[in-house]
């Protein structure tokens, strides 16, 4: 048997990442000197030197915003902020915003049960075991699902695989397939992919037109990973959260959803010393902060009290928030 023919149907509907289009950022942030918004240039310079000199960070680039204005940009080694970056798990927070749009439009409630959404897709015995699991459990990583990214590598139908696995619901248990199921819910509720659904609601209003979201073998956007986007466009989404869903004077996502998404919904325990978990967004345990976090140093970190937003990309060994970057950023 020709194994290439055997696996071809799995990937026949999965497009490859298109070439990056080298175009200027649409609707870029206003640039200004740090002092124009009450920030010391010397402090910015010191911070940039600190992260550049820390070899454990292997920093690629960083953008610093204050009150929605770009006050500093830095690129390290041969990296460039004009090329889209792989966001890893930082895109989970964008998937949360998609669920927020569904909520605002009256299409989905966090309290809706997964058995009601997926019905017969879920095996009978599993339907009994997870009868109380809701969309909110997906948002807060408290499903206790065992089917994960490693298992997905050898499976074609990830929705079926997810609901065929074991569940131990209750405590925070980080699993990117929870976010993938949120993406599958968007597709099920709207008949649009996650990126198609977000285009007129999030991407177009913010002037984001250079992005690509990888799909699973069944053609569903991965949701929890797989998004390529420019750092400045990630900054726009972070700034939208900073502004409680308002953009250019228009409320495009309800402040109610932003409040819920950035409030503590699950205790992360020993996984993170600095952050608990909201709705697919990390939230500060003590400081009034939020974080879109991707492995290896991809971060959108917002300090609500000061109006500072940091967008960083790296290539380090960091998993969750264990690196020196967060200590330096909080100084």
For 44-97, the pLDDT digits (tens) are: 999 999 999 999 999 999 999 999 999 999 999 889 999 999 999 999 999 999
- 0.85 cut: is pTM over it? yes
pLDDT digits (tens, 9 = 90+) for 199-209: 999 999 999 99
Q: Tokens representing 91?
A: 């895109």
Give mean pLDDT, residues 289-317.
Answer: 96
- pLDDT at position 68 is 98
Query: Residue 242 belongs to what H/E stretch?
Result: helix 231-242
Specify the pLDDT at position 330.
84
For every residue of 108-176, DSSP letters joined together read --TT-BHHHHHGGGS-HHHHHHTTT-BHHHHHTT-S-B---HHHHTT-S-HHHHHHHS-B--SS----H
Quick check: 134 pLDDT over 80? yes
Q: What percent of the chain has pLDDT over 90?
A: 84
pLDDT at 6 over 80: no
pLDDT, residue 16, reads 65
- The chain-wide mean pLDDT, for the chain, equals 92
The gap between the terminal CA atoms of the chain, to the nearest Å, is 61
Q: Is pLDDT above 50 for 306?
A: yes
Q: Between residues 287 and 91, which one has the greater pLDDT?
A: 91
The answer to whether residue 324 scores a pLDDT higher than 50 is: yes
Is residue 1 predicted with pLDDT exceeding 50? no
All structural domains of the chain? 15-329 (3.40.710.10)
| pLDDT value, residue 11 | 39
Residues 238-282: tens digit of each pLDDT: 999 999 999 999 999 999 999 999 999 999 998 999 999 999 999
């Amino acid at each position: 048997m020709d194994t290439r023919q055997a696996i071809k149907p799995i990937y026949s509907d999965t497009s490859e990442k298109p070439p990056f289009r080298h175009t200027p950022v649409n609707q870029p942030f206003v640039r200004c000197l740090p002092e124009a918004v009450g920030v010391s240039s010397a402090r910015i310079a010191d911070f940039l030197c600190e992260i550049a000199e820390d070899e454990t960070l292997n920093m690629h680039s960083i953008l610093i915003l204050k009150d929605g204005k770009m006050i500093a940009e830095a690129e390290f080694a041969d990296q460039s902020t004009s090329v889209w970056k792989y966001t890893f798990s930082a895109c989970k927070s964008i998937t949360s915003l998609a669920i927020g749009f569904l909520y605002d439009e009256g299409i989905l409630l966090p309290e809706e049960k997964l058995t009601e959404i997926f019905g017969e897709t879920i095996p009978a015995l599993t339907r009994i075991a997870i009868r109380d699991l809701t969309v909110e459990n997906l948002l807060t990583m408290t499903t206790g699902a065992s089917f994960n990214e490693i298992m997905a590598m050898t499976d074609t139908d990830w929705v079926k695989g997810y609901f065929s696995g074991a569940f131990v619901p209750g405590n925070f248990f980080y699993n990117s397939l929870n976010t993938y199921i949120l993406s599958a819910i968007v597709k099920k509720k709207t008949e649009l992919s996650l990126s198609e659904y977000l285009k007129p609601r999030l991407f177009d209003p913010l002037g984001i037109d250079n992005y690509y979201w990888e799909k699973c073998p069944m053609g569903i956007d991965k949701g929890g990973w797989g998004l390529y986007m420019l750092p400045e466009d990630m900054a726009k989404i972070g700034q939208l959260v900073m502004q409680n869903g308002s953009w250019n004077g228009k409320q495009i996502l309800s402040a109610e959803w932003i409040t819920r998404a950035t409030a503590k919904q699950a205790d992360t325990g020993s996984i993170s010393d600095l952050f608990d978990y909201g709705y697919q967004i990390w939230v500060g345990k003590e400081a009034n902060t939020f974080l879109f976090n991707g492995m290896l140093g991809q971060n959108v970190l917002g300090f609500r009290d000061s109006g500072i937003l940091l967008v960083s990309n790296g290539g380090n060994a960091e998993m969750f928030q264990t690196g020196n970057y967060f200590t330096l950023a909080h100084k």
